[in-house]
Amino acid sequence: MRKLGKTSRSDSDQNGPDGSDLGSSSVGVNKNHDSSLKHVMGTANYVDDIAEPRGMLFVATGLSTQAHARIVSLDLDPVKTSKGVVDVIVHDDIPGDPDVSPVYTGDLLLAKDLVSYVGQPLFAVAATTQRLAQQAARKAVVEYEQLEAILTSEAALKQSSFVLPTRTFVMGDADAQMKAAPNKLEGEQMVRGQEHFYLEGQVALVVPLEDGGVHVHASSQHPSEVQKLVASVLGVNLNQVQTEVRRMGGGFGGKESQAAIPGCMAAIFAIRNNRAVKYRMPRHDDMVQTGKRHDFWNRYRCGFDADGRLLGVDMELAGLCGFSADLSEGIVDRAMFHADNAYYLNTARIVGYRCKTNTVSNTAFRGFGGPKGMMAVEAMMEDVALSLGKDPLDVRKANLYAQGRDETPYGQKVEQHILSELIDQLETSADYRARRASIVAFNKAANENASQLLKGISLTPVKFGISFTSTHLNQAGALMHVYTDGSIQINHGGTEMGQGLHTKIAQIVAQTLGIDYSRITVTATRTDKVPNTSPTAASSGTDMNGMAAQDAATQIRDRLTVFIADHFKTEKTNISFANDCINVAGEPHGFADMVQLAYMNRVQLSATGFYKTPEIHFDKQAGKGHPFYYFACGAAVSEVLVDRTTGEYKVTQVDILHDVGDSLNPAIDIGQIEGGFVQGMGWLTTEELLWDDTGRLISNSPANYKIPTAYDVPEKFNVQLFAAQNYKPTIYRSKAVGEPPLMLAISVWCALRDACAASANYKIAPKLNSPATFEQVYWAIDDLQDQLKQKQS
């Protein structure tokens, strides 16, 4: 098997990552994103760019201003008579099922008589322009009767207000171990959620069809769910609805369940008016009306030995789910699955609460709860190190999963132990020890001279479980057509949201058939081409759809092989596919010629492929099983410079070593790592979701919700791929890369915490909530100074 080793994005297209000529090899090379030319030309079409059918209507919704209230009256006359308005609908106008929940129930497309969060849609209006629709939607007169609202996880816990039952993982007797442990500590942290801020907002364009069905152009990670929910709100069968997704302008989980809403709304109007209808949420509406990453309130206790090795751990993770379940079952589960991150806990009890609050229903976001669990255990690592006066890296290393210390709190054994080697390699390449020593000296001098600047550094690992934790979702399909000119269309169940999935699929097909990459076009995802698909989520897009595409390509290759062997009267073993040719007993024949020949001889040139992930199972009740096919790993070192007089800081250097198995496309994988890291950094630093005390989101626009800009990214930002193939037989031994890198950014948060701790000579654990805004860092340091003074007096 190839070992790719270090790779970079600047290598040219045709060469292998090490500069070698890979001949006709299509995987492992830095192919450009398949839409990159269209991206830079401005010709890549997103839903809003599709030529608008004549007479199309535009939708806007009227939003609740109350967090929890009964609707006493709803006067829509001013809306109906507003300029340009063609149609207005309320809950009772929904022809089919008004509930658009992805898994459980409780997500109504339009509120009935009760509103459950500020921003919940009460009615929808269709008008001749987007602007007129928005203007009309503002004119409704609503009378509410206010009800008591629960707005925080603490309040929900107190009142046992949950969207779904609490779950617990138990491994051994953690209480007994903690009791007997020589050292103990406890802590808590508030980890705020995150707005997806996909650059392209939620949107759908629906065209009515002749038989009561609709064609939906969606910006969705889950076309099959859009299809299912549109059919269900219309009260028609699934076979009446087609969803088509060419590309999204970003998804990040925010278009997994949420993207069905615009489709459903537009579909109802499309059928009622027999006109094409577009619903594009303006940024403000998108920010207040659709779900985000969950806030988590984490509490932890642990007992540990003199080396910092954990003996017993007790964790309570409370996810703020909002008013309904949405995908919160799996999200809180995944927080629990990752509360160990890369560490063997020895004994543990991990409790996951799903708090029900009168806020928007939170949803999937890159990492799907995983980051929240990891934050708890990483804070614990820092605390343990501080309490023992150790380098946190030594504590982390002492706790890594290893041979014999390999059982997770949910019963799955960690089989591949690469983190120890990976961390050693990064520690050296990033010169971690020397830098830490100089930082400690720098901070010591800063404290002695009362100078303003402090530094912090941290190395944190990531071990992320790959597979959907709902076992049935781990299936994928593909449909491949070879045309008589030798050009190929491949269609699969995955969606393209920028992650380069289509590019990798084309590479896989090209590799499987030994043909030129340029023969292949990956077409828009459509539910009428590949049915019953799973969301493109859980980082599984390439793992699953790549296998399905390869299955289809392999069938075609096998059919051609059989035909050619027969036609040329030779053994099948004499036929090979390489260099864009089919070699028959050593003699190359052009691929297109062979395809034409096969066609003339009535060989079927179309195939469907299928894949299901093996080995996985999980018993939700027992909290035990084997939910993940494998783990993707990585580690990052971040360094920060902090001004203690203001809390302002700059991330000055980041070094990452990440495991993507054998990379299918190093350029794309590195892009995912960099992008995921910066998105995670935003989550933990500047992106602050805030509500006022009436439950209204006040960080409701990019003017007051700040995602990172180019300036925030350190100039020294080194990303390397770890050279190791997947130990599982995944597609070309690659590993999933979508989500795991986001959590590498926890190193930034830990580095900031490290700098705060430095202000008190590494003696006291700082209280640093997340996001660690400048203000939060300022108060964390301020609090430590107060504690120091108290100790001294």
Partner 1 sequence: MIVEINQKAMQIDGEPTETVLEFLRRHGLKGTKEGCASGDCGACTVMVADRATGLGRQSDPFKTFNACIAPIGQFAGESIVTVEGLAQGDKLHPAQQSMMDCHGSQCGFCTPGFVMSLAALVENGATDFATDDDSVREQVQLGISGNLCRCTGYKPIVEAGQAALAAAHDSWLYVDASVSKHQSEGVTDVESDVESEVESQVKNEAANQGVYLPESLKEMNAFIMQFPTARLIAGGTDLMLEVTQLYRDIDQMISVNKVAELTELTIEMHEGKEICRIGAAVTYQDIELALGQRSPALVDLLHRLGSTQIRNRGTLGGNFGNGSPIADMPPVFMVLDGVLNIGSSSGAKRASSIEDFYLDYRQTSLAADEYIVSVEFPVQALTDFHRFYKNSKRIEDDISSVLGAFRFEGCPDQISKAAIAFGGMAAMPVKLKEVEAKLEGATLDDELMSQAVQLLSMAMQPMTDVRASAAYRLRMAQTMLERALREFRGEHLPQVTEVRHA
- Binding to partner 1, residues 371-390 (CB under 8 A): none
- Binder of residue 171, out of ligand FES, partner 1, none (CB less than 5 to 8 A by kind): none
- Binder of residue 81, out of partner 1, ligand FES, none (CB less than 5 to 8 A by kind): none
Nearest CB to partner 1, comparing residues 679 and 725: 679
Sheet holding 310-322: strands in order across?
A: 167-171, 348-356, 310-322, 295-304, 183-191
- Identify the CA nearest to 376 among candidates 309, 319, 293, 311: 319
- Identify the CA nearest to 412 among candidates 374, 460, 370, 469: 469
* Three-state SS sequence of 97-116: CCECCCCCCCCECCCCCEEC
Query: Contacts with partner 1 in 157-186 (CB under 8 A)?
Result: none
Beta strand 348-356 with 310-322 is parallel
Question: Least Å distance between CB 646 and partner 1?
Answer: 6
- Cα separation, 60 vs 281, whole angstroms: 7
729: buried, middle or exposed (CB in 10 Å: 19+, 13-18, 0-12)? Answer: exposed
Q: Which amino acid is residue 725, in one-letter code?
A: Q
Q: Does 738 bind ligand FES (CB under 6 A)?
A: no
Nearest CB to partner 1, comparing residues 80 and 91: 80
**CB-based contact 681:651 (threshold 8 Å):** yes
Mask 21-40, x = binds partner 1 (CB under 8 A)? ---------x-xx-xxxxxx
Q: Which one of residues 642, 736, 737, 784 is an interface residue with partner 1 (CB under 8 A)? A: 642
Mask 474-503, x = binds ligand FES (CB under 6 A)? ------------------------x-----
Q: Which one of residues 343, 628, 649, 732 is an interface residue with partner 1 (CB under 8 A)? A: 649
**CB-based contact 258:281 (threshold 8 Å):** no
**CB-based contact 638:644 (threshold 8 Å):** no
Question: At residue 451, what are phi and psi to the nearest 5 degrees?
Answer: -90, 160
Question: Least Å distance between CB 437 and partner 1?
Answer: 21
Question: Distance of CA 343 to CAs 312, 638, 770, Å?
Answer: 12, 20, 22
Query: Contacts with partner 1 in 103-142 (CB under 8 A)?
Result: 131, 134-135, 138
Nearest CB to partner 1, comparing residues 305 and 648: 648
Question: Least Å distance between CB 706 and ligand FES?
Answer: 14
Question: Least Å distance between CB 199 and ligand FES?
Answer: 4
Question: Least Å distance between CB 686 and partner 1?
Answer: 5
Choices 460-468, 524-532, 557-565, 671-679; region in contact with partner 1 by CB under 8 A = 671-679
Q: Which one of residues 199, 437, 562, 622 is an interface residue with ligand FES (CB under 6 A)? A: 199
Mask 155-194, x = binds ligand FES (CB under 6 A)? ----------------------------------------
- Binder of residue 353, out of ligand FES, partner 1, none (CB less than 5 to 8 A by kind): none
Listed in order, strand segments (DSSP E) in 209-256 are 214-218, 241-245
Question: Least Å distance between CB 405 and partner 1?
Answer: 34
Which ranges constitute the DSSP H helices of 11-143?
36-41, 77-80, 130-137
Question: Least Å distance between CB 690 and partner 1?
Answer: 5
Query: Contacts with partner 1 in 679-698 (CB under 8 A)?
Result: 679, 686, 688, 690, 698
Q: Which amino acid is residue 191, in one-letter code?
A: V
Count of CB atoms situated within 10 Å of the CB of 52: 12
Count of CB atoms situated within 10 Å of the CB of 147: 14
Q: Residue number with the shortest CB distance to ligand FES?
A: 199
Nearest CB to ligand FES, comparing residues 44 and 190: 44
Active site residue 200: no
**CB-based contact 125:85 (threshold 8 Å):** yes
- Binder of residue 623, out of partner 1, ligand FES, none (CB less than 5 to 8 A by kind): none
Beta strand 716-721 with 649-658 is parallel
Nearest CB to partner 1, comparing residues 170 and 698: 698
- Binder of residue 357, out of partner 1, ligand FES, none (CB less than 5 to 8 A by kind): none
Q: 450: which residues sit within 8 A by CB, 6+ positions away?
A: none
Mask 249-268, x = binds ligand FES (CB under 6 A)? -x------------------
Which ranges constitute the DSSP H helices of 205-327?
223-234, 260-273, 283-289
Angle between helices 746-758 and 432-448 (to 10 degrees): 40
Question: Least Å distance between CB 670 and partner 1?
Answer: 8
Nearest CB to ligand FES, comparing residues 181 and 259: 259
Q: Which residues participate in catalysis according to the annotation?
A: 739
User: Which parts of this chain interact with ligand FES (CB under 6 A)?
Assistant: 199, 250, 498
